[in-house]
Structure 1
């Protein structure tokens, strides 16, 4: 099993302030499942932004899919980002589009024919328990419903990497378990999963997952991930 992500001595600074992340190094194996934990403000979201290319590192190297993400030409970024599914804490649904069209968006952007879109979108909406809200627009949905639409959109195109920032924060425990099963199914198909969460129950449900923890902008290593990276560094 090869590696899909490699960070080497990465630092991130916003403007002229102190570094938000300092000397972060780790390797993620293709098809691995990882939980990222840490107190609020520790740097979890900033690390995720580097993973899904919303930020470039101030220093150090970030390699994704075998390439240096920090030096990618701007023209190649959209293609790279289409290989990464993201569940944002603030959902980022398009308010003018229905639940169906929000979930269908990644497939349409990827050029999937319209005749091949309906079945997977309806299946995904059923999985997240929103078959009855197909035509509803985000402003009419609850926070938990919006979260589920955001997750369905992130996984619909079977991304190579799924990055999820507190994906179960607005749903009840039963739905959290159901969504975790969805992530597991995607992982079995080969997707590398990275979930940032405070939910210890969630972490305990995936015994094979590895755990990373951010403390004050630095990555600590309860899983031995840094010393013995899966697949070799």
Structure 2
């Protein structure tokens, strides 16, 4: 694993509410070290997805400070948000592939949006397709792909820009156990290259496959554990 450096993410007394309702997240404090691997656990509705949305800048906090790459993300000018978001890869639970684009073009999308010349697109896209074992499906469109294949395309799209942070929301929830373990190995490979990885999951079988990972557990919108490496995790999330 890459040498760990200073915190790449810092949450300071963060709260989040939607509209005028009660807070979904309350008094959240934690830091993520550059190059580390984290699991985020918690029951359904505990606030995992909301916390991840703050991480990848889909939401701004209602209060408190979210620092990304040393800057307060809550006061970033709108014009700077795209550049920040390109430094963060996201694997959504529902994939969010573009249905009328091929697997190749879905993976290439972040590069093209970033203005990478077309002559420089093919090689990294082919590399990603090989990395996830789907070279032979490069021209297939999402509706013709299995759930596991779609998930692998979504992961390839998320990491093609070599993000500094990868955020994955229940990435193994729609695949069988063998595929889930394969996907976890992909995340491990990226982490070894220096990317900070945050995986939200309730599957402790997978969590135990990376005993050096750190665990953050969220309960009713508050983090109950956001510090050490895994030690004797409970039987279920």
Give the aligned partner of residue 46 of structure 2. 42
The reply on whether 1:172 has 2:140 as its aligned counterpart is no
Give the aligned partner of residue 148 of structure 2. 144
Residue among 82, 99, 103 paired with 1:99: 103
Count matched residues.
225
The reply on whether 1:16 has 2:20 as its aligned counterpart is yes
Higher mean alpha-carbon deviation, 196-205 vs 40-49, is at: 196-205
In structure 1, the gaps of 5 or more residues are 226-233
**What secondary structure is seen at the aligned counterpart in 2 of 1:185?**
helix
User: d(CA) in 1 for partners of 2:160 and 2:41?
Assistant: 25
Give the aligned partner of residue 82 of structure 2. 78
Higher mean alpha-carbon deviation, 10-19 vs 110-119, is at: 110-119
Cα deviation code 1:48-88 (max 9, x no counterpart):
00000000000000000000000001111001000000001
Please say if residues 166 and 196 of structure 2, whose CA atoms lie closer than 8 Å, have aligned partners that are also in contact.
yes
Residue among 220, 225, 233 paired with 2:224: 220
TM-score of the aligned structures, taking structure 2 as reference length: 0.91
Give the aligned partner of residue 233 of structure 2. none
Alignment of 1:102-113 (within 5 A): 102-113=106-117
Give the aligned partner of residue 53 of structure 1. 57
**What secondary structure is seen at the aligned counterpart in 2 of 1:26?**
strand
**What secondary structure is seen at the aligned counterpart in 2 of 1:100?**
helix
Give the aligned partner of residue 69 of structure 2. 65
User: d(CA) in 1 for partners of 2:63 and 2:7?
Assistant: 21
Give the aligned partner of residue 228 of structure 1. none
Give the aligned partner of residue 191 of structure 1. 195
Give the aligned partner of residue 31 of structure 1. 35
Give RMSD over aligned pairs.
1.4
User: d(CA) in 1 for partners of 2:118 and 2:12?
Assistant: 41
Once the two structures are TM-superposed, the CA of residue 136 in structure 1 deviates from its matched residue by 1.1
Residue among 154, 179, 202 paired with 2:158: 154
In structure 2, the gaps of 5 or more residues are 230-237
TM-score of the aligned structures, taking structure 1 as reference length: 0.92
User: d(CA) in 1 for partners of 2:21 and 2:171?
Assistant: 29
Please say if residues 30 and 226 of structure 2, whose CA atoms lie closer than 8 Å, have aligned partners that are also in contact.
no
Once the two structures are TM-superposed, the CA of residue 222 in structure 1 deviates from its matched residue by 6.1
**What secondary structure is seen at the aligned counterpart in 1 of 2:13?**
strand
